[in-house]
Structure 1
Amino acid sequence: MKRLLLLAFIPSIIYCSNGTTIFDFLNIPCGARPTAVGGGFSAFGDPHSIFYNPAGICNITTTTFSSTLRHYIAGINSGIILWEKPDFNGVIGIAINYVNLGSIEGRDVDDNLNGSFTPVSLSTKFAYARHIGSFKGGLSVNLIYENIDKYSAFAPAVDIGIIYTPPTVPHIDLGLSLNNLGYEIIPFRDTRENLPYKIKAGLAYQPLPPYIFSLDIERQINGGQDFILGAEIPLSPNFFFRAGYSSRWQDLAVDVSTDVTAGLSFGIGVVRNRLKIDYTASPMVDLGIAHQISISFLN
């Protein structure tokens, strides 16, 4: 029964969405490192930038494979896999993002049991990025699919992004991205809905590399605006502590005076030769804690 209720409120539960859009699963943070620093990530260079600002994959210097398992609230499990490689005078990448809620009871209008179904959400990204002077530019094409019982929806979309490193200002990167620009070709029913378009701007500051502090501002199609703060601090050359805050999760706070963890995230990262392991925990107040673990291999 809990899963049945979750299905009805997926947009608000997984992302505190207050507008009418489709494919809200695209707003679930992807990757343990980005999630740990709040989920902004518009000015970072990282394999998982393919989900935030495709220009960020320009930093990839060797073939990279990464897999992430997300254990979400109420037992919802999902994950991502990605592959990226320097090629064609830049970097190419492919990434898959999936959510599977498991088997859910079907009910008719009289609340009689009517079989079961398994909702599935899936997106596949194809990305390319390259350096252009002091700029990095990136573009990704996203094929998005959702199925709920007998109904399915499909839409293509694109993400466009740039990252600028000012030559006269050391240790600062400025990022700008437009995400989920697309059109629902196959709607669930007769009415087409908007994709969760958003525009993000941010900066990443390294006062003493590899220390990183970040600030992002994100505006969504439904009018919501959020700010995101993040920090990554090396405790040793191979061990990192991360923390972040996102105002988007404040809607989860029932009592703002006591629910002080709403919007916070914490994580660690370990690097060992060509292996990277990252973990993040995101408290979601009364809904529990969302976990992510990412394992990356560098060839």
Structure 2
Amino acid sequence: MQRFLRFMGIVVVGLATNHSFAQVGGQRIFEFLEISPTAQITALGRQQVALGDDSTRVQEVTQFLFNPALNQPELHQQISIHYTPYYADISQVSLGYSYHRKAVGTFGVALQYLNYGSLEGFDAAGLPIGNFSAQDFAVVINYIHEMRPFRLGGNLKWVNSQISGYTATGLLADISGVFRHPTQDLTIALVFSNFGILLQDELSPSIRELPTDVKIGVSVKPQFMPFRFHLTTYRLIRGYGYWEQDGNELGVGGQILRHLSFGSELLLSPNFQVRIGYNHLTRSALQLQQTAGGAGLTYGLMFRTSTFRVDFSRAVLHATGAYNQFSLSLDLNQLFFRNP
């Protein structure tokens, strides 16, 4: 049972990177970078790159892992920690910190870590040779430049994957821009992510493709409604092999939906929100013939005070599998550096 759960955990993590069953797996390296790093993004469909303007309150700092331009001066001295438990001791942790100095600008630093736990090894004859470990991690440095109402951002990433002593290392970059309407709650974002080079590859010398992507997102809150709506189109430079599981080719509508992620927030108060999202690629790839079982749906909530913020999300990937994500964000200015 433990071995089965571990296998299912690895499958779930792989599917969290949005692979379709219609594609041949294992075609790209460092795919863990496509997993949503924050509970807010997860709850809104796992792909949102345009988030509403909430600069006067505690935020999830590590949102800049998905869109570097989402960092901002108002996040000075804020820190976020995120934890995602998967099956059988597989887990993801990410943390981020933002710092602003008027003379030089706004910087961020983050760590993304995925641990697969202890795995059983076997030789070519099927005999056990002991346990081994596997993990992925990335160290990210962020910088933004504001030209209101525009903000430009960039991430520089040192990425490493290790399996049983074999290593792959890369140097990647993200570049993005965000437009925030000066009077309306409207955000538009453009992100170029995970472009770079492989420095070392002992894991898969025949696989050289990086998880590069282009994403365009929009977030809007109608003036007299307590809702904020999100839409992101993603994987704009990569296809999926557009075939249903029964071998029939997808129609145009199905192909378009596989590039879209939807999300909505119910703004009950400035300090309490309820979220829901939908990812059609997850649903179409992982639903059973008899039932979808909620595959593709995500939801969550947020609560905060003047000093901290707690986010929770749950993502349904399959009729038999879902995962939770927890985030804690702290405003160090209020906790330790408040003026008397």
Change (3 A) 1:13 1:166: closer
1:253 maps to 287
Q: Does the CA contact (< 8 Å) of 1:253 and 1:259 recur in 2?
A: yes
Aligned counterpart in structure 2 of residue 64 of structure 1, from 67, 78, 82:
78
Q: Does the CA contact (< 8 Å) of 2:62 and 2:95 recur in 1?
A: no
SS in 1 for 2:109: strand
Structure of greater Rg: 2
Specify the code of the residue in structure 1 equivalent to 2:91.
N
1:143 maps to 158
Q: In the aligned structure 2, how far is the partner of 1:219 from the partner of 1:137?
A: 21
Q: Does the CA contact (< 8 Å) of 2:294 and 2:319 recur in 1?
A: no
Between the aligned residues of both structures, percent identity stands at: 25
Relative to structure 2, which stretch is displaced further, 244-253 or 175-184? 244-253
When normalised by structure 1's length, the TM-score is 0.91
Aligned counterpart in structure 2 of residue 14 of structure 1, from 16, 37, 46:
16
Change (3 A) 1:230 1:77: same
When normalised by structure 2's length, the TM-score is 0.81
1:36 equivalenced with 2:43 (yes/no): yes
Aligned counterpart in structure 2 of residue 207 of structure 1, from 196, 204, 222:
222
1:267 maps to 300
Q: Does the CA contact (< 8 Å) of 2:36 and 2:46 recur in 1?
A: yes
1:86 equivalenced with 2:120 (yes/no): no
1:98 equivalenced with 2:102 (yes/no): no
Specify the code of the residue in structure 2 equivalent to 1:149.
S
Aligned counterpart in structure 1 of residue 199 of structure 2, from 185, 199, 202:
185
1:176 equivalenced with 2:190 (yes/no): yes
Q: Does the CA contact (< 8 Å) of 1:73 and 1:287 recur in 2?
A: no
Change (3 A) 1:239 1:248: same
Specify the code of the residue in structure 1 equivalent to 2:69.
A
Q: Does the CA contact (< 8 Å) of 2:295 and 2:319 recur in 1?
A: no
Relative to structure 2, which stretch is displaced further, 119-128 or 36-45? 36-45
SS in 1 for 2:235: strand
SS in 2 for 1:219: coil
Aligned residues: 297
* 1:286 Cα deviation from its structure 2 partner: 3.6
Relative to structure 2, which stretch is displaced further, 197-206 or 14-23? 14-23
Q: In the aligned structure 1, how far is the partner of 2:138 from the partner of 2:8?
A: 21
Encode CA deviations 1:194-230: one digit per residue, 9 max, x unaligned: 1111100010102138742111000165424520111
Q: Does the CA contact (< 8 Å) of 1:238 and 1:272 recur in 2?
A: yes
1:112 equivalenced with 2:127 (yes/no): yes
Change (3 A) 1:258 1:156: same
Q: In the aligned structure 1, how far is the partner of 2:82 from the partner of 2:10?
A: 26
Q: In the aligned structure 1, how far is the partner of 2:39 from the partner of 2:278?
A: 14
* Aligned CA-pair RMSD: 2.3
Relative to structure 2, which stretch is displaced further, 126-135 or 215-224? 215-224
Specify the code of the residue in structure 2 equivalent to 1:180.
N
* 1:262 Cα deviation from its structure 2 partner: 1.1
Q: In the aligned structure 1, how far is the partner of 2:133 from the partner of 2:294?
A: 32
Aligned counterpart in structure 2 of residue 289 of structure 1, from 322, 326, 330:
322
1:280 maps to 313
1:53 equivalenced with 2:73 (yes/no): no
Change (3 A) 1:6 1:149: farther
Relative to structure 2, which stretch is displaced further, 289-298 or 190-199? 190-199
* 1:161 Cα deviation from its structure 2 partner: 0.2
1:219 equivalenced with 2:243 (yes/no): no
Q: Does the CA contact (< 8 Å) of 1:128 and 1:140 recur in 2?
A: yes
